[in-house]
């Protein structure tokens, strides 16, 4: 490792046939290209790399090609809601399909979904501020969105709906893994916003979603469209990578369902399962 680094550093100091256009002045530092100094530089470089690997910092911070991308993700941390687009190769490869495949039933997903959605609620009060009680004497609840804190509402059909369990994922391009980082109950409308690219062909409805996105995040429409463009560029950048799923978060729910650290969601057996159970069923969303 160190020998290869030394070779690289040496090449930087090799004399060229052409006369350099820049000459050191007497006041400038002398460049020490001795063998001893090169070994020292190489050793320091190697130690730095080892320290970076030991640290938990995102390796992409040290890649100039990723810096502007990470800077944008950092900026968007102030948002209450963000666009989250699933890469093309990952469509249908999610918690629901993986659970259905492993346990030969959709019931595990329903149990997890119901559990997550039950964690986000408000107690109902009357006009005087008193809690309303059910027939058992318990406080009445209404289930609300974790993002906007409102009831779930379908603006297209003009009806109140149940909240929906949204899967939040993080992508590691170095290991080609897609890690489940949270499960969150969200309302119908916020879920539509998160996956707003589903409505690229329905511009009128997409504009309605963008307006609500602006209201929640306190931004203008110009910034919203820039955010939409960024999310789409990220989806395309990841589009041809086949990620393995890390769903170890499911194990922490303590509901009796477990996954090993990585689930190969691109193996032929699982692909055949998706074709049969999901892709041919129009009622299933890809994300």
Residue 51 is given by DSSP the state H
The answer to whether the CB of 170 falls within 8 A of the CB of 246 is: no
Q: What is the mean pLDDT, run by run of 10 residues, along the chain of 287 residues?
A: 56 48 45 66 71 61 76 94 95 94 94 88 83 85 84 58 87 90 92 95 95 96 97 94 94 91 92 82 47
Question: For 69, how many CA atoms within 13 A lie in the half-sphere containing its CB?
Answer: 18
Q: Hey, how many other C-beta atoms are within 10 angstroms of the C-beta on 176?
A: 13
- Give me the pLDDT at residue 123, please: 82
What is the torsion angle, in degrees rounded to the nearest 10, for the CA atoms of residue 63, residue 67, residue 69 and residue 72?
160
pTM for the predicted model, two decimal places: 0.72
Structure-block tokens of residue 94: 């999610």
- Give me the pLDDT at residue 11, please: 58
Give the long-range contacts of residues 263-271, CB within 8 A, separation 24 or more: 263/98, 265/90, 265/93, 265/97, 265/98, 266/89, 266/93, 266/242, 270/93, 270/101
- Give me the pLDDT at residue 17, please: 46
The answer to whether the CB of 268 falls within 8 A of the CB of 101 is: no
- Give me the pLDDT at residue 129, please: 84
CA distance 266 to 268: 6
Structure-block tokens of residue 237: 């950048």
Question: For 121, how many CA atoms within 13 A lie in the half-sphere containing its CB?
Answer: 15
- Alpha helices (H) in 182-237, listed in sequence order: 188-194, 203-217, 221-237
Q: In what order do the strands lie in the sheet with 164-172?
A: 164-172, 177-186, 244-246
CA distance 243 to 218: 34
């Amino acid at each position: 490792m160190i020998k290869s680094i030394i070779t690289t550093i040496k090449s930087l100091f090799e004399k060229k046939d052409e006369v350099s256009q820049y000459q050191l002045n007497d006041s400038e530092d002398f460049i020490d290209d001795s063998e001893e100094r090169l070994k020292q530089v190489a050793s320091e470089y190697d130690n730095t790399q080892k320290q970076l690997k030991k640290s938990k910092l995102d390796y992409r911070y040290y890649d100039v090609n990723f810096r502007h991308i990470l800077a944008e993700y950092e900026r968007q941390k102030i948002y209450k809601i963000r666009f989250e687009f699933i890469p093309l190769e990952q469509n249908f490869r999610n918690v629901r399909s993986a659970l259905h495949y492993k346990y030969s039933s959709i019931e595990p997903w329903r149990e997890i979904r119901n559990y997550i959605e039950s964690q986000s609620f408000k107690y109902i009060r009357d006009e005087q501020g008193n809690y309303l009680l059910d027939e058992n004497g318990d406080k009445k609840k209404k289930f609300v969105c974790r993002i906007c804190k409102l009831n779930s509402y379908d603006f297209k059909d003009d009806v109140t709906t149940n909240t929906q369990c949204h899967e939040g994922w993080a992508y590691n391009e170095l290991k080609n893994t897609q890690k489940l980082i949270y499960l969150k109950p969200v309302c119908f409308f916020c879920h539509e916003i998160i996956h707003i690219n589903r409505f690229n062909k329905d511009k009128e409805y997409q504009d309605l979603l963008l307006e609500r996105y602006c209201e929640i995040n306190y931004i203008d429409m110009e910034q919203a469209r820039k955010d939409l463009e960024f999310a789409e560029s990220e989806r395309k950048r990841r589009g041809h990578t086949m990620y393995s799923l890390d769903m170890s978060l499911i194990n922490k729910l303590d509901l009796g369902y477990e996954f090993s650290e990585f689930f190969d969601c691109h193996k032929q057996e699982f692909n055949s399962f998706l074709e049969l159970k999901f892709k041919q069923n129009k009622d299933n969303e890809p994300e």
